Chains A and B, each alone.
Chain A
Amino acid sequence: MAKTILVIDDSASLRQVVKMALTGAGYDVLEAGDGKAALALLDGRQVNMAVCDINMPVMNGIEFVKAAKQLPAYKFMPILMLTTESQDSKKEEGKAAGAKAWMVKPFSPTQLVSAVGKLCP
């Protein structure tokens, strides 16, 4: 059975780019436009991993990671931060929140699929 990845980004175009890369590698993809909408999808359904932007309206990526880690069913779900932010201080913030990896946009599909494969074997 294909693994399900939740993709969270306020840019619909970017979500589509990520979705194409992941579905091409055999993953199922769920989409959300911000952290709050993503949390609403974590309702008990099987989600193996999340790929999350940082700067989003309503609820940003760091807030989402912290909130997701409070949900018992998703506490151990690996989260990859996919963002234009590359400062070390931001990475530390993501790590402290509970993210498992950090990738800077623009990404190549090979790079993304490889990272997802490592975090969600």
Chain B
Amino acid sequence: MSTSRVQSERAVTEMLQAFADIGPHINMAERQSQQINDALAQPIGGVVGLVGACEQVLQPVLQDAALTATNRAAVQQVLDLVRNAVGALEQISKPFQHETQMVAQQVDRMYMGFQYQDRISQMLALIEGDMARLQATFSGPGADIPDLAGWLLRLQSQYAMTEQHNDHQVTPPDDTANGGSNETTFF
């Protein structure tokens, strides 16, 4: 039991240490991805807005009757180049955004995993303590059978989770309680 608890705690520590190292990099990638997409999506001042702004400036020039065919073609070519460049940037950014969103979702799941692992460590520590108490109770000279109800009450008083109380009272598992309510109650 002791070994299991120590190994469970070590698993959490090791995972957290690794995550502490990569976490800032993941956060930075997520922020940068968002900045890139924001910069692209801005209708004014952003890259997408650049196409509209160029067209706004160059359309009157294209409609100028005095413009030679060569110059008209050159202006049109510039517009096409801008459109193509912006389109290419959008095509590059979309998968990048998708990837970073995926990473963010997995990061959320890792956070949940750490917490479940931590719960297991806490439960093992509680059981280990109770078993040690039981052993100590029976190993003394003239050991007496302890008061069962009192024993269980003391154990129950140390529970920190709804599931433990449910298990203790042999109540069917509550899926909502097991996974957290995923909501915040504001008072």
Contact = CB atoms under 8 A, between A and B. Distances in A.
B186 A100 contact: yes
A115 B108 contact: no
Nearest to A90: B162
A32 B122 CA distance: 18
Interface in B1-57: 9, 12-13, 16, 19-20, 23-24, 27
B185 A101 contact: yes
B162 A86 contact: yes
Nearest to B15: A13
Interface size class of B (residues with CB under 8 A): 35 or more
A20 B12 CA distance: 14
Contacts, number: 93
A104 B115 contact: no
A84 B87 CA distance: 48
B80 to A, nearest CB: 41
Contacts of A84: 119, 160-162
Contacts of B151: none
B59 to A, nearest CB: 44
Interface string A79-114: 010011111000100110001111111111111001
Contact of B118 (A11, A21, A108, A109): A11
Contacts of A55: 160
Nearest to B179: A106
Interface residues of A, number: 36
A111 B24 contact: no
Nearest to A84: B161
A100 B16 CA distance: 29
B184 A105 contact: no
Given A14-B115, A16-B20, A106-B115, A115 B184 contact: yes
B33 to A, nearest CB: 15
Contacts of B187: 94-95, 99-102
Contacts of A118: 186
Contact of A16 (B16, B161, B177): B16
Contact of B186 (A17, A87, A101, A106): A101
Interface of B: 9, 12-13, 16, 19-20, 23-24, 27, 107-108, 111-112, 114-119, 121-122, 160-162, 176-177, 179-187
Interface of A: 11, 13-14, 16-17, 20-21, 24, 54-55, 80, 83-87, 91, 94-95, 99-111, 114-115, 118-119
- Interchain residue pairs A-B with the least CB separation, the first 5: A106-B115, A55-B160, A84-B161, A102-B185, A104-B180
